[in-house]
Amino acid sequence: MKKLHLASIIALAAASTTAGAWYAPYYPAPVLTPEQQQEMVKQQQAFMERQTKAMEQAMEAQRQFAEQMANQGPAATGFPGYPGAPYGYGAAPAFPEMPPMPEPGQYPDFPQMPEFAGQYPDMPEMPNAPEFGQAPEMPASAQERIKEMDAYRAQAKQRMEERRAAFKQMSEQRQAMHQARCDHRFQGMPAPMFPNMPAAPSQAAPQQQAPTPNQ
């Protein structure tokens, strides 16, 4: 009985908590009173003052450290011949000055162009044209070349005729050795059975008398 009563209490508490979380309105933001707002503004101002003071102290410490390092650097010792490292602002060596620009009209003049007239040799004169109907004279080398070409042409023609005659003689000998193969009757038949027999017996057609007209 006690356990059942305890379980009922737990279930009721869970249901009420769930219903309250689901159906309860949102929690409104707290509204500050004027006194609380003034106190918050004072706290923010005090925080900004402390932050500004800390930044000023850090900058002052950095400046003092830079001055101390500058006094201890080789530039402050006074070694002869050593330019030293400039630590201060604006102590860097200046850039070299630009060279002065030349005044207008001082550029050198361009050289004059050479005169081409009369510097080149004259072209050779054209040979005289031959008279009408006459071929121009050929040089000796060209005539010799023509004779060589004519002789070579005659030799080539003779060799060609000899080769043609040899082929013709060989063809005639082949036809004489194989006369049966070269017969025209066997050109269209692949394997004739009776080459010497005619295709049909030759018989003379019977003579017919002309019909006599009826009298």
The string of pLDDT tens digits covering residues 20-51 is 666 666 666 677 788 888 999 999 999 999 99
The count of structural domains within the chain is: 1
Q: Report the mean per-residue pLDDT for the chain.
A: 75
> Is residue 147, in this structure, part of any structural domain at all?
yes
- In-domain check, residue 165: yes
- The mean-pLDDT minimum among 107-121, 147-161, 164-178, 184-198 falls in 184-198
Asked if residue 119 is part of any domain, the answer here is no
Q: State pLDDT tens for residues 67-101.
A: 887 776 555 555 555 555 555 455 566 788 888 87
- In this structure, of 62-71, 98-107, 194-203, the range with the lowest mean pLDDT score is 194-203
User: Considering the domain boundaries, does residue 92 fall inside one?
Assistant: no
Q: pTM of the predicted model, to two decimals?
A: 0.24
Q: What is the mean pLDDT of the segment spanning 157-170?
A: 95
- Residue 156: inside a domain: yes
Query: Is residue 144 in some structural domain?
Result: yes
* CB neighbours of residue 134 within 10 Å: 7
- Residue 96 domain flag: no
In the chain, the percentage of residues whose pLDDT exceeds 70 is 61
Task: Determine the length of the chain.
Answer: 215
Tell me the pLDDT band of 123, cut-offs 50, 70 and 90: confident
Band (115; pLDDT cuts 50, 70, 90): confident
Query: What is the extent of the structural domain holding 165?
Result: 140-180
Residue 157 lies in a domain: yes
